[in-house]
Structure 1
Amino acid sequence: MQINFYRVRIPFLRPFTTSFGTENYREALLFRLVHDGIEAYSEAVTSPIPDYGYEDNATAMHIIGDFAAKYISDLPDPSVFMERARGIKGHNMAKAALEMLLWDYHSKVNDQPLYRYIGKSRGYANVGISIGMAKIEEMLEQIEKAVSMGYKRIKIKIARGREGLVREVRDAFPDIPLSVDANGDYTPSDMPRLKDLDRYDLEYIEQPFPGDDLIYHSRLKKEISTPVCLDESITSADKARKAFDIGAADVINIKPGRIGGFTESLKVAEIARENGGHVWVGGMLETGIGRAFNIAFASLDLVDYPGDTSPNEKYFSRDIVKNPFRMKNGIIEPYHDPGIGVRIDEESLLRYLVDAGTISV
């Protein structure tokens, strides 16, 4: 048995800027498994350079091809694969690409849409939007359009020294559900800057300190009234449990492709509920394949906050799926066909293709 991989490069409609830098395209690793007439797909959420975390496209291909792929030769249950892969330390994004490939495969074997196969679902995902840093006029224009389209939460990216963006947005839109995401750009010496954000009535401040920190997030939470959301800091269910134990989080942004897949993400969501916390599903600028996984997870009853699950027409002029998601009144329904339900646009796949090959399993 083999896994086909495809590396594609899709340009963004506009540059997307965070505290990490500016991205002009999504370079994605896509995987396809064919067995007994069933085609399963997945996507690694890595990027060409290790800016978000230590993983990148090259490390993902190394871990998958040289170590992890052998663990799916008998197409095990996703949880069995994760148990087998425990010896691979870290590399959640690489492992998630295979774990989620198995979720798609097994939900198709069982002739169920993925969102029903993974757990109790409300049948739709509440949708928020993430706005990258740009000239304030451009950001306000994007927000106005998003509000008119019915998005249920607006999130803007911020960085140390650019807190003025929050004031400008709140002045222009005093009543919208608004949150901010710092992507770990602040240090403990910036506590006064972060405390000052209390005045803007935010839904939460996302990941103010670097991803390896829980302690200073706990201290910040004691000093501000705005809820604290953790993203990069939550790499496992164990980390989520510790975050709630020491009072470091009110909210968790679950990115299944970053946490290690659905098996671990379900545990994180359960821990948040047990501790009175809240959960939403974030994105990593995925193609329609990765977005389909996110929407399926975001439809679960365990997920109670709107996530960063915009239709991909926000990012790309043309996706690699024939049936891109459409949003209505701030909600998106997952596909009802078996598995993730996407139909691949082979013409687009070839158009954006940079590299392709096979991995022996």
Structure 2
Amino acid sequence: MNIERVELKRLHIPFKASFEASFGRMSKRDLVLVSVYSSDGKVGYGESTSMAFPWYNEETTDTVWYMLEQFLIPKLLTAEITSPEEVAELFAPIRRNNMAKAALEGAVWDLYCKQKNISLAKGLGGEKEKIDVGVSIGIEPTVDLLLEKVEGFIQEGYKKIKIKVKPGFDVEPMREIRKQFGYDVPLMADANSAYTLHDLATLKELDQFNLIMIEQPLAHDDIIDHAKLQKELQTPICLDESIHSVEDARKAIELGSCKIINIKVGRVGGLTESKRIHDLCKAKNIPVWCGGMFETGVGRAHNIAITSLSNFTIPGDTSASNRYWIEDIVEPEVALIEPGMLAVPTGAGIGYEIKEDSVKKFLVHQKSYSKKTTESVG
């Protein structure tokens, strides 16, 4: 593929409104935008999905930058690769740091598809022309405020409503949503590892609300207790934080730890591993969906592409750009083509252009790495 240069840009993008999950509240997105340049003048783009703090997983924006600069970029610039799948193998000896790996591998996938003049979705084997999407709602100060947001997103036609829950903010919000909007609304709960088996009685209460799933109720690294919990619940358990690879998915499925898996591209180390997990789950009749990490349009484009694969049968979290941002860094912005649906881009690569003026507005730091400098350092 003849990759000549890699550029990193750290961006701070303010949310339209702060967002709270069980692990904390956020007011801005802190990310690394990765650009990969080839000798033919084409550029591929990727985006880190880490946060500024190690609350979702062990990675942060600082660790992502460090891993990219010290290990991943030098490996890429000194290797001869012919396809993006080889990047996953190239990075395999480096333990974890999946979000750093995914940011760079995603940029290579975009570049590869642009060189082949095909869409990223087609490059991954996707067949859908449009995808169903849902929305994620954070923990609100009051149930009344939560109900207002739920009503707005129902009116916008989102195909799944995900509610963040934690002990003390779980049964009552679900009861009030069902009371006000009925049982036809596709509803799920996301716990972000806020519970233990000692909370079994509370979790069993959620069965009455006919939820699509309860996402990651127990520890972030657990698949044993989730198997015990799933036997006690009628509601399907979906695993998120516990799944970092196709091997994790295989073990969880064999143990009966879940009935659904959320595939987040950053969490599992990139698009190649995401596709492997998708293929395994399809063979095992486990439906999957694509979770969101507050991505800009770059990351959303990657999510849309992977969601075009056939076993992504549950609406994901890839909502429109205006859900979180006053201003996105791509054009056109990611927008619904009809209620609750996004088009799968057909243009080369991710199918969106970078808005350089917006990138400059949110830029905190940038650095460029070339084959020449890498060779001189190495």
Normalised TM-score (structure 1): 0.98
Hey, what does 1:152 align to over in structure 2? 159
Counterpart CA distance in 1 for 2:81 and 2:167 is 46
Counterpart CA distance in 1 for 2:146 and 2:31 is 26
Deviations 1:263-284 (A, max 9, x none): 1111111121122211000110
Deviations 1:137-159 (A, max 9, x none): 22211111111111111110000
Partner SS state of residue 106, structure 1: helix
Among residues 287, 296, 302, which one is paired with 2:296 in the alignment? 287
Counterpart CA distance in 2 for 1:335 and 1:141 is 32
Q: How does 1:194-205 map to 2 (within 5 A)?
A: 194-205=203-214
Report whether the alignment pairs 1:272 with 2:276.
Answer: no
| Shift in Å, 1:75 | 4.6
Among residues 223, 234, 244, which one is paired with 1:225 in the alignment? 234
Counterpart CA distance in 2 for 1:169 and 1:335 is 34
Contact 1:288 1:319 in 2 (8 A): yes
Deviations 1:230-280 (A, max 9, x none): 000110000000010000011111111211111111111112112221100
Report whether the alignment pairs 1:186 with 2:195.
Answer: yes
Hey, what does 2:174 align to over in structure 1? 166
Hey, what does 1:260 align to over in structure 2? 269
Deviations 1:291-330 (A, max 9, x none): 1000111122121110001011010111111211111121
Report whether the alignment pairs 1:21 with 2:21.
Answer: no
Hey, what does 1:71 align to over in structure 2? 75
The residue type paired with residue 341 of structure 1 is G
Partner SS state of residue 347, structure 2: coil
Counterpart CA distance in 2 for 1:324 and 1:296 is 15
Hey, what does 1:344 align to over in structure 2? 354
The residue type paired with residue 120 of structure 1 is G
Among residues 99, 108, 116, which one is paired with 2:114 in the alignment? 108
Q: How does 1:120-131 map to 2 (within 5 A)?
A: 120-131=126-137
Counterpart CA distance in 1 for 2:99 and 2:370 is 19
Contact 2:36 2:108 in 1 (8 A): no
The residue type paired with residue 223 of structure 1 is E
Give runs of ≥4 in structure 1 deviating > 4 Å: none
Stretch of structure 1 that moved more, 155-164 or 134-143: 134-143
Counterpart CA distance in 1 for 2:20 and 2:192 is 11
Stretch of structure 1 that moved more, 145-154 or 161-170: 161-170
Counterpart CA distance in 1 for 2:210 and 2:283 is 26
| Shift in Å, 1:67 | 0.9
Partner SS state of residue 238, structure 2: strand
The residue type paired with residue 348 of structure 1 is S
Contact 1:123 1:300 in 2 (8 A): no
Counterpart CA distance in 2 for 1:359 and 1:237 is 31
Partner SS state of residue 354, structure 2: coil
Partner SS state of residue 14, structure 1: strand
Contact 1:126 1:299 in 2 (8 A): no
Partner SS state of residue 87, structure 1: coil
Counterpart CA distance in 1 for 2:64 and 2:30 is 13
RMSD value, Cα: 1.1
Contact 1:211 1:232 in 2 (8 A): yes
Partner SS state of residue 6, structure 1: strand
Counterpart CA distance in 1 for 2:364 and 2:131 is 32
Where does the alignment leave 5 or more consecutive residues of structure 2 unmatched? Answer: 372-378
Deviations 1:108-131 (A, max 9, x none): 110001111110321111101111
Deviations 1:31-89 (A, max 9, x none): 11221110111001111111111011111111111111123223542221111211101
Q: How does 1:132-147 map to 2 (within 5 A)?
A: 132-134=138-140, 135-147=142-154
Partner SS state of residue 133, structure 2: strand
Partner SS state of residue 353, structure 2: coil
Hey, what does 1:82 align to over in structure 2? 88
Counterpart CA distance in 2 for 1:16 and 1:76 is 41
Hey, what does 1:40 align to over in structure 2? 44
Among residues 207, 215, 237, which one is paired with 2:216 in the alignment? 207
Where does the alignment leave 5 or more consecutive residues of structure 1 unmatched? Answer: none
The residue type paired with residue 66 of structure 1 is Q
Contact 2:36 2:43 in 1 (8 A): yes
Counterpart CA distance in 2 for 1:137 and 1:261 is 38
Partner SS state of residue 133, structure 1: coil
| Shift in Å, 1:181 | 0.1
Report whether the alignment pairs 1:99 with 2:102.
Answer: no
Counterpart CA distance in 2 for 1:144 and 1:335 is 29
Contact 1:28 1:287 in 2 (8 A): no
Counterpart CA distance in 1 for 2:206 and 2:103 is 37
Among residues 356, 368, 377, which one is paired with 1:358 in the alignment? 368
